[in-house]
Each structure stands twice: as C-alpha cells, then as structure tokens.
Amino acid sequence: MIRFTYRHTHCYLLQGSDREKLLAFDAGWPCSPLEYARGVKEAGHRFDRIKWAIVSHFHLDHAGLVRDFQDAGIQCLLFENQGDGIDGMERLIARSYKDYRPIVKDRFISLRTGESRAFLSTIGIAGEVIRTPGHSDDSVSLVTDAGEALIGDLYPLPQVVDDDEASLGSWSAIRELGARHIFPGHAAPFELA
C-alpha cells in the first residue's frame, strides 16, 4: 500500500502484478495535478505509471482530479451507486475553482461492485470493491485479500452513532471480508478489533 497526503487528504496507490502499473484510490483536489504528482513522486513512484483509478466517493477532496486523470489516459472506474454524486460536486467546485474542467462522463469504465473482484484480478490485485454508504450514498471501499480496507470518508466505527444503520451496515460488510487494517481518507490508519 502506497500512501501520500496533501491538503489533509490521504491518497492511495496499489501495485498490480505488473509492479510498474498502479491503481489510484481517490483522486485529490480540483486543479491540483502538480501537487498530486509531487505526492506520487515523494512516495517513490511516477504519475505516468497510474493506469486505473477508483474514487471512494464524489466529494471535491476525493474526486477533484478525475478529469485530469482522464486526460492523462487513466481509466477511471464508476460503480453502480456513484453517478449521481458528480453534478453536485461539480456545482460546488465551479464556485471556487475557475479553471476546473468537468469530468467526461462517457469516458468512465462503468462497473458493478459485484464485478470488481474479477476486474481487479485482471490487473493482479486480489480484493474487491463494495458499497459502503454512510458518509454518502455513492461511497465505496476497496478491501484487499491481505486484510486492508480503503474506506474513504466512512466514519470510523467509534464515531458511528447507534441509529446510523447505513454506516453500521458498511462496517459489517468490511468486517465480513476479513479487513483488519483500515486506511481512512483523512484520519490515521487503524486496526479493526
């Protein structure tokens, strides 16, 4: 698991069986491609080695660079619960980022989460993507067979209130897949008891 942080968002990179090819999990802030690329470099890798990207959800600190990724030829995946968050995110971005260019929606690779294990295996990553609503309806988490879970902004378990059934269900699903090492989008990694 390769991790770097800028502007308080953790960005993750996973190596496939071809170790020169990387899958990005989360795609930074709008209009910050150079900062993102600097983070990749400081983590010992190269931006042009990123071939695929998954975003945990469409909030501007996690999916702001999707268009830049698309323009760089990175295959960006879109899961069945994710399309609806894009327009709202972009309306918000447009207010503060004058140079922002919108995502090209038909350039996404649409995938169902149920197909994610098969897709990931084709690039040499053992694991799957599951829907983990709670923070947002379009949230997904990537859980590897090594017991690592990238959860985006899913609230850490101690902070989930009793009647937040969506978040509690998401944590059950993560646990069922055997995840032990949890990597949030903003907080420090922690172990699942």
Q: Point out which residues bind Zn ion (CB under 5 A).
A: 59, 153
Which residue lies nearer to Zn ion by CB, 128 or 153? 153
Which residue lies nearer to Zn ion by CB, 46 or 186? 186
Nearest distance from C-beta of residue 135 to Zn ion, angstroms: 6
The residue nearest Zn ion at its CB is 59
Do residues 180 and 147 touch, judged by C-beta distance below 8 A?
A: yes
Nearest distance from C-beta of residue 184 to Zn ion, angstroms: 11
Which residue lies nearer to Zn ion by CB, 45 or 138? 138
Do residues 68 and 29 touch, judged by C-beta distance below 8 A?
A: no
Closest CA to 100 of 89, 112, 84: 89
Nearest distance from C-beta of residue 59 to Zn ion, angstroms: 3
Do residues 189 and 181 touch, judged by C-beta distance below 8 A?
A: yes
Which residue lies nearer to Zn ion by CB, 18 or 84? 84
Which residue lies nearer to Zn ion by CB, 26 or 153? 153
Nearest distance from C-beta of residue 44 to Zn ion, angstroms: 27
Closest CA to 188 of 1, 6, 10, 48: 10
Residue 105 phi, psi (nearest 5): -65, -30
Nearest distance from C-beta of residue 10 to Zn ion, angstroms: 12
Q: How many residues does the chain have?
A: 193
Which residue lies nearer to Zn ion by CB, 70 or 136? 136
Nearest distance from C-beta of residue 57 to Zn ion, angstroms: 6
The three state secondary structure string of 92-159 is HHHHHCCCCCCCCHHHCEEECHHHHHHHHHHCCCCEEEEECCCCCCCCEEEEECCCEEEEECCCCHHH
